[in-house]
Amino acid sequence: MTTRTELHAEPPRASLLARLLDSDLFYSFTRSPVTVVAAIVTLVYITAALCAPLISPQNPFDPATLNLLEGFTPPMQPNEFTSKVFWLGTDAQGRDIFSAILYGSRVSLLVGFAAVGFAAVLGIGLGLLSGYVGGWVDAFIMRVADVQLSFPAILIALLIFGVFKGIVPPAMQDRVAIYVLIVAIGLSDWVQYARTVRSSTMAEKNKEYVQAARVIGVPAPLILVRHILPNVMGPVLVIATIGLALAIILESTLSFLGVGVPPTQPSLGTLIRVGQDFLFSGEWWIVMFPGAALLILALSVNLLGDWLRDALNPRLRG
């Protein structure tokens, strides 16, 4: 009732941009300098990763561009043989760390976004199904979700990886590893979407407009997509943002453990894994810069997610 009156009280139809700029969401965004910085960092980071071939000084994974003489060059110091300067130094093979980070971020972001997309599609689908159909379908899906939720994502992802290693012939493993990684991370993180979507679906499906749509013969999938889905986009966005940070961290962790992407296609985690060996001999930059890059990326995305959750759910605002 009240919402209806309020809706009528609003001025009729401003443009989308104007409404966005006037919204509480945008207001709370501009009021939080940390969030603005996080958003900018995330955007710059993603752009840099996408444009890696254009900005990076060398293609770090084309052996032709590497010069072994340039190995172990410390950051910002000219190499003693070629006197080339590398901002963030080089690794054992003379690979420019800055370029490696850019290329590595591509892999990390690709896996992260793809895994979140996979998890979201799977979770939303199962959630809609579970909430709309109900009955034993619902009971079964939610039981599986409960059991899975009680195990940490890393364990599930590792297990899926273990199975993959057992099934796929070693020769093919490097080629499909990245897809397996996406599926493994995605499968370990669908539950939250499903739960959220399910509860909204159950609340929404008995509302009059959904009933009315059903009465006039709108097919169920259309009802779900047209009427119910928009209602859950807010929470889904929050879960997805925080999920992106989690996926990036999980990917780097798996790669660090040596079960992630193959070394020919290193992500940030792989770079850290390789760099860790040089920590004791004093070449700290090989591991620290990729580590810092990973932290900045995960932190920015987490900050965005944190803000989004608070902004969309004022009750929880702390």
What residues contact 189, with CB distance under 8 A and at least 6 apart? 115, 116, 119, 123, 153, 243, 246, 247
256 binds another protein (CB under 8 A): yes
With CB under 8 A, what is the number of residues at the site for another protein? 44
Per DSSP, helices labelled H in 15-152 are 16-22, 24-30, 33-50, 52-55, 97-133, 135-149
For 69-88, what is the HEC assignment? HHCCCCCCCECCCCCCECCC
Site for another protein in 151-170 (CB under 8 A): 151-152, 154-155, 158-159, 161-163, 165-167
Closest by Cα among 304, 270, 261 to 290: 270
Stretch that binds another protein, among 65-73, 113-121, 218-226, 280-288 (CB under 8 A): 280-288
Closest separation in Å from C-beta 206 to another protein: 26
Q: Name residues contacting another protein, limited to 8-27 (CB under 8 A).
A: 24, 27
Can you list the pairs that 138-146 forms with residues at least 24 positions away whose Cβ atoms lie under 8 Å? 138/198, 141/194, 141/198, 142/194, 142/195, 142/198, 145/191, 145/194, 145/195
Q: How far is the CB of 122 from another protein (least distance, A)?
A: 19
What minimum distance in Å lies between the beta carbon of 281 and another protein?
9
Minimum Å gap between C-beta 253 and another protein is 5
Smaller CB separation from another protein, 204 or 306: 306
Which spans of this chain sit near another protein (rule: CB under 8 A)? 24, 27, 147, 150-152, 154-155, 158-159, 161-163, 165-167, 245, 249, 252-253, 256-259, 269, 272, 276, 279-280, 282, 284, 287-288, 291, 294-295, 298-299, 301-303, 306, 316, 318
